[in-house]
Amino acid sequence: MQHTKANIHALNFRNGLHPTNLRSAVRSKRTTEHLITECIYMTSDEGDFYHKATSVDGTACGVYIFSEPDQRIEIHFNYLDVPCENGGLVSYVDGWELNGQFFPSPADHPRPMQSRFSEFCGQRKIKQVFTSSQNVALIQYRMPERGRSFSFSVRFLKNPTPCNTLLQSTEDIFTLRNYGKRANCSISTLFPAAVRVAALSVGVVPSSGRGIELETGTIHKVRTQVMHANIDFYLFC
């Protein structure tokens, strides 16, 4: 039998990461070059990103990247000039980390936690191209001294089988399914969500060579009211 778990999470905020920042990032003008000047930087844009340290206080910062629910995020580092001394570091994360919480959670993500992180430092060119498993990715960094910098490019790719999704809108219809795989799928929000199950139906699926087999999954229509606006979730297993 095929199993899936449908989760709806509300992630915590940290260091100014707030739904208003998310909405302003969605509305931002599309450009091809972006200068990262804030420690917590959110973007839904493709293009080239550049950061140069103007102050050094040992703070770990992050570039939170998100796209449409049916997209993945491809990241290519153009260059890296971040010495390893004094804790200098740049890392790619397959997902988001907020207040010690991860999206997708370790239980929901198809990859083990240790393989979701890649860390770099020094003066080098990184040949590896990173592709997220879902519609969010994170670049974390800690600059060791002034004048040091790094640059990376972002491109969005079509994801034909989205499983774990971060919601950006409050007025859309969302479909969550496991596409016949043994997988946990989840929907997360950056804002509190009150969930009410409006409909529940249990179905059956044909099994090749074995006739009809009971399906443990269900079809749900979930109506969620978020900040006085409704979201409809259709969860198929």
Q: Which CATH number fits domain 13-158: 2.60.120.290, 1.20.59.20, 2.40.40.20, 3.40.50.12140?
A: 2.60.120.290
The residues near 34 (Cβ < 8 Å, ≥ 6 apart) are 43, 45, 47, 48, 49, 50
Q: How many CB atoms lie within 10 A of CB 66?
A: 26
The confidence band for 168, taking pLDDT boundaries of 50, 70 and 90, is confident
Between 118 and 7, name the one with better pLDDT. Answer: 118
What's CA 180's distance to the chain center, in Å? 22
Burial class (CB in 10 A: 0-12, 13-18, 19+), 220: middle
Question: What are the pLDDT digits (tens) for 100-109?
Answer: 888 888 888 8
pLDDT score, position 221: 41
**Residues belonging to the chain:** 237
Q: Domain residue spans in the chain?
A: 13-158, 164-236
pLDDT averaged over the chain? Answer: 75
- DSSP letters along 149-173, please? EEEEEEEEEE-SS--EEE---SS-E
Greatest mean pLDDT among 46-50, 52-56, 203-207 lies in: 46-50
The confidence band for 47, taking pLDDT boundaries of 50, 70 and 90, is very high
Quick one: average pLDDT of 184-208? Answer: 62
Burial 183-206 (b: 16+ CB within 10 A, else e): bbbbbbbbeebeeeeeeeeeeeee
Residue 157 has pLDDT above 80, yes or no: yes
pLDDT score, position 171: 57
Residue 7 has pLDDT above 70, yes or no: no
Cβ–Cβ < 8 Å for 201, 177? no
pTM of the model: 0.73
Residue 9 has pLDDT above 50, yes or no: no
